[in-house]
Amino acid sequence: MSFSTLPGIGMGTFRLKGNTAREAVKSALSLGYRHIDTAQMYDNEAEVGDGITSSGIPRREIFITTKIWYDQLHASDLINSLHGSLDRLKTDHVDLALIHWPSPGDEVPMEEYLGALRDAQREGLTDHIGISNFNCAQMDKAVEILGDAPLLTNQVEVHPFLANKKVVQHAQSLGITVTGYMPLAVGKVMEDETLLHIAQDRNVSPAQVAIAWVASRGVVPIPSSTRPAHLKANLDALNIELTDDEIRAIDALDRGERIANPGFAPDWD
């Protein structure tokens, strides 16, 4: 089975380590997740691979995303690093390989690392290619460089306190699906009065409301959790259909609160 699009929700593994990562991935797959998101920088690809192989779910039914760190963007480094990722993940290919961040200060030209990423795709190391943390101008440049090699996604931070509207709309106008990381704003959604109110009315959790809102925008959420009950609740959130009034109320929470903002980040839109 080859995936032509991203599954509607994924399990994020940022900050999950060791046996916790193994068990969480295995648990997520047993609950029905089919998209697992990791990265070289998370230092957990081996454990994620263990969780996948021990799940008993056939590899062809699982969509695996990994991301190439910015110190591996030179062409020869990129391909080698992806081979390393495949070894750790115990698979002969990933479904999606992303550039984790644009090269800080354009130290490595985008033509070089996107060309290498396309080469990796041609070599069968990854089915799809994409980007992460790219702003609007960088997306335009990437599309220009790659031509007819489609970028499946731009993975960016999206939650009720950072709607990231400009980037989301621009990506979607280019035919690029947006994957939204940190959809729960590292737990901050659990304390917001608007989300609590909507959640109480519907007898669901604020986390589920936040995920439903992200999904309502055509964005693929990749929440992270280690507890089976939370993993299942996050999955079930895709079945929640928010009203226009509820969506407007959540839209109003946008305050540009960016959580992932390292010194090497691009100039955000």
Strands (E), the chain: 11-12, 35-37, 63-68, 94-99, 126-132, 151-157, 177-181, 220-221
Q: Is residue 233 part of a domain?
A: no
Q: Is residue 155 part of a domain?
A: yes
- Amino acid 148: pLDDT: 75
What's the mean pLDDT in 40-63? 97
pLDDT at residue 234 is higher than 80: yes
pLDDT at residue 120 is higher than 90: yes
- Amino acid 5: pLDDT: 86
Catalytic residue among 42, 70, 113, 181, which? 42
CATH code for position 142: 3.20.20.100
pLDDT in tens, 75-106: 989 999 999 999 999 999 999 999 999 999 99
Q: Is residue 70 part of a domain?
A: yes
* Residue range(s) defining the domain that contains residue 98: 11-183
Q: What tokens were used for 61?
A: 């039914």
* DSSP state at residue 90: T
pLDDT in tens, 163-196: 999 999 999 999 999 999 999 999 999 999 999 9
**Separation of alpha carbons 182 and 168, rounded Å:** 15
* Mean pLDDT, the chain, integer: 97
Q: What tokens were used for 15?
A: 């900050």
100 is in an annotated binding site: yes
Q: Is residue 173 part of a domain?
A: yes
Q: Is residue 223 part of a domain?
A: no
Q: Is residue 230 part of a domain?
A: no
Q: Provide the percentage of residues in the chain whose pLDDT is more than 90.
A: 96
268 contacts 135 by C-beta, under 8 angstroms: yes
Q: Is residue 94 part of a domain?
A: yes
pLDDT in tens, 210-226: 999 999 999 999 999 99
What's the mean pLDDT in 200-205? 97
- Amino acid 2: pLDDT: 63
* DSSP state at residue 162: B
Q: Is residue 89 part of a domain?
A: yes
**Separation of alpha carbons 78 and 97, rounded Å:** 11
42 is catalytic: yes
Number of folded domains that form the chain = 1
**Separation of alpha carbons 251 and 247, rounded Å:** 6
pLDDT at residue 1 is higher than 60: no
